[in-house]
Amino acid sequence: MEHLKEPMTFDGPSYNPALDQVRLTGQIKRVFTCMVDGKWRTLQEIHDETRDPEASISAQLRHLRKIKFGRHHVPKRRRGDEECGLWEYKLVANVPHVQQSLF
């Protein structure tokens, strides 16, 4: 995955590097690899490709917006009946980071 900037350091009140770093790094790599083609996908569709939990996918999409994870653009929009609350997302890779080999 060549569009993320290392070192990837996660944080948060329940984050324990010894327990979580490898797992979260794997998740963000899978989500990025799935989404880098720029296609719109729901959390369920990303889950179908990565097998990661939807809540984790949502968190990783938020991480991808952060400077330390590449400051990528991750827009969202409603899909289908607006009253159903189904959202879809796409990744627009931050061009300066595209040429860096990070994984």
In a domain, 5, yes or no: no
Helices (H) then strands (E): counts for the chain? 4, 3
Is 86:80 a contact under the CB 8 Å cutoff?
yes
Q: Output the pTM of the full model.
A: 0.84
In a domain, 65, yes or no: yes
What's the structural domain count of the chain?
1
CATH of the domain at 70: 1.10.10.10
The DSSP code for 41 is E
Residue 53 sits at φ, ψ, to 5 deg, of: -65, 145
Q: What is the pLDDT along the chain (103 residues), one digit of tens a residue?
A: 445 545 678 988 999 999 999 999 999 999 999 999 999 999 999 999 999 999 999 999 999 999 999 999 999 999 999 999 999 999 999 875 553 434 3
Residue 25 domain boundaries: 17-97
Q: How far apart are CA 60 and CA 30, in angstroms?
A: 10
